[in-house]
Structure 1
C-alpha cells in the first residue's frame, strides 16, 4: 500500500527484455536502503525489487503490467517517480494507493498560471473508470485532487514543489501516464453496477 507522495526520482540505467518480461535497472538514492523482495512503486506501479547493486537496483515488469501501464515506454535515461510502501501507523499525507494501475491516459493540455500549472488528461471512459471533481486520482504514482472532471477527461493543479520533484516537469502533450482511480470509488461503482439500468 502507498500514499501517492513521491519520495524521489529514479533514472533508468538499463532495460532487458526476457521473454514477455522487462527487467528494469534504475539508479536512485533509495537503492542502498532497499532489499530484495521489497515493494516499490514506479510511476505508480508496484514492483518487487529483485536485485540491488550499490546505487542501482532491478525490478521486473510482467506482460500484464506492460500492457496496462506506461512502463513499456521507458527508455534508458527516463525519469521514474519512486515511492516505498507506506509505514503502518505513519501519517497518510496523500490517499490510499494500491500501486495497481487501472489504465493509461494521455496528456492533452498544459497550462502555466503564474506559479502553478494545470495538466489535462484524457482516458478511455469505456473501461468503466471515472473521476469526480475534488476527488482523488493517482497520476504516475502522484496523489492529486481532481479540479475539473468530465467523462474521459480531468485536470489537476500542480504546485511548484510537485512540479520540480516529480515527472510533471518533463511532461509534454501526447505523453502517456498511469492512472489509478480512487479505491473507494471503484468499490462503490462495482457494488452499484448490478443495480443500474443497462445502457
Structure 2
C-alpha cells in the first residue's frame, strides 16, 4: 500500500481559499517560474501552463509523478468541473459525494464517486497500487486525518494572510495531534514547501492528553 498524504497550498494563517472559494494569490507560484513541470499540461483547464521556480521544480514534479490517485470532495469537483477529466496529477480521482457522477460527464476519465471518506481512501489506495494517494485539504482531508488515514501532511505555504475562509484542516473534529518534525523544508520563490510525518498510536497524543 502506497503513502497517503494530505496536501494543499495554504496562506500563512492556514486557509486554502477565501469564504467565496477564491484562492487569490495562493497558486501564483505555480505559474510564475522558469521551470515547466514534467506533466501532461492542459493550460485551458488549469489557468495556464505550470511553470515553477528552480527551488520548487524537483519537489513538485516528484510528488506529482508518484501520485497515482487523488481524493477530493464534491465542492472541489463542482468548482473545477473536475478539471474536465484532467487533474493536475494522478491517473485516478475519487470524489467523496452522496450524489453520483453527472450524466454523460467525461466517461473516458477515471473518476469514481464514493459516499464516505473511508471508502474513498480505500478505493484510491486500491487504484493507486504501489503509487501514492493524495487527499485534498479542507473538510475531506480533515476527516481523513481524524480517521487515521493520513501518513503525511504536506503544505505549500504562501506569504499571504486571509483572515477567514476555507481552513486547511476544514472542520477537524479529531483529538488533538502532535506531528513529527518536518522531513521536507524547501524555501521556494513565494512559497515554502513543508511535509510532516503523522505520528501513530500513543505518540500522536498531545502532552496534555498523555497527562
**TM norm structure 2:** 0.25
Higher RCO structure (Cα 8 Å, ≥6 apart) = 2
Q: Structure 1 or 2: larger strand share?
A: 1
